[in-house]
Structure 1
Amino acid sequence: MHEIDTYSYRCGVMDCFCEMVRAGVKSLALSHPVDSRAEWDELASFADQIARHYGVRCYPENEPFVTDLFPVSACRGKFLYLFYKADHTLAEYLRLKERKAALVESGAYFGGNRTQIAREYGRLLSYGDETVRTLLENNGEKEVF
């Protein structure tokens, strides 16, 4: 079996997700998160190029959204790219991040509010209800305040 270098693997993932966004399978797709700004910067040119190739948009995200959908270590302090077709999708993502921040600031980010934010993020990523439920149930590494 051929060994695939990390850079090429990450580029292949972005290619696949851009195709899925173009086809309408996903509203929003995320590249794999990377640990450093240097890795992120190295991928920037390809991310822009592949997004243009598929006629989708690319948003560089240096503060990924942390919810109970994914382990906190997969998001906090990471860098990634968002791929989407419609501007309202990015606007919805950013509004959801703002809503969470406001809930955290007001001390209301717990229980149903916390779960609702994660569910809405899952829907934005085009995950089905069962997938979201499973991700929430299986996430043993949630953000602590």
Structure 2
Amino acid sequence: MRNIDSYSYQCGVIDCFNEMVYAGVKSLALSHPMDSAEERDALLPYARELCQRYGNQLYIEDEPLLSDLFPLSLNRGKHNILFYRAGHVLEEYLRLKERKAALVAEGAYFGGNRSQVAWEYGRLLSYPAESIRRLIAENTDREQV
């Protein structure tokens, strides 16, 4: 198989996810997590061009939502670009982050509350229920709060 550089790979991912958001397959899509803001920012001109082409919007995320949906090491300290079409989707994502922060501050981020955050995140990403259940069940790299 031919090697592909990281920038070109990320551009392909960004194009694919923008098309999925445009087609209504996903309400919210995430770029692959990147180790640095500089790496992510190098992709922004291309991401903005694609958003304009597809009629989507983007949000620069430096503090991604950490939940039991994905392994902690995949997202902690990483930088993403979020893609969405409707403004209410970004609002729901930001409210979910706020709700999780409030639950942590109240000492209530466990059990059903913790599961609910992961489930709602999965729904925002338009994952089927069985996929959400499987991702949560298989995730052993969870945030300690």
TM range (shorter): over 0.9
Residue 47 of structure 1, CA deviation:
1.2
Deviates more, 1:37-46 or 1:26-35: 37-46
Who is 1:93 aligned against?
A: 93
Query: Using the alignment, how far apart are the partners of 2:52 and 2:69 within structure 1?
Result: 29
Q: CA deviation at 1:59?
A: 0.6
Write the mapping of 1:1-145 to structure 2, written as runs, cut at 5 A. 1-145=1-145
Distance 1:110 1:36 in 2: 30
Structure 1 residue ranges without an equivalent (≥5): none
Any stretches of 5+ residues in structure 2 without a counterpart? none
Cα distance in 2, alignment partners of residues 129 and 43 from structure 1: 31
Paired with 2:47 and 2:11, the residues of 1 have a C-alpha distance of: 8
Q: Distance in 2 between matches of 1:2 and 1:110?
A: 45
Secondary structure at the aligned position of 2:24 is classed as: coil
Distance (whole Å) between structure 1 residues aligned to residue 2 and residue 75 of structure 2:
30
User: For the residues of structure 2 that align with 1:37 and 1:90, how far apart are their CA atoms?
Assistant: 20
Q: Give 1:17 deviation, angstroms.
A: 0.4
Question: Structure 1 residue 37: deviation in Å?
Answer: 1.4
1: distance between equivalents of 2:16 and 2:38? 23
Task: Please report how far the alpha carbon of residue 38 of structure 1 lies from its aligned counterpart in structure 2 after TM superposition.
Answer: 1.3
Partner of 1:109: helix, strand, or coil?
Answer: coil
Taking structure 1 as the reference length, what is the TM-score of the superposition?
A: 0.98
| Partners of 1:12 and 1:24 in 2: CA distance | 19
- Structure 1 position 56, deviation (Å): 0.4
Divergent runs of 4+, >4 A: none
Alignment partners' CA distance in 2, 1:109 and 1:139:
17
SS in 2 for 1:29: strand
* Superposed displacement of residue 53, structure 1: 1.1
- CA RMSD between the two structures: 0.7
TM-score, structure 2 as length reference: 0.98
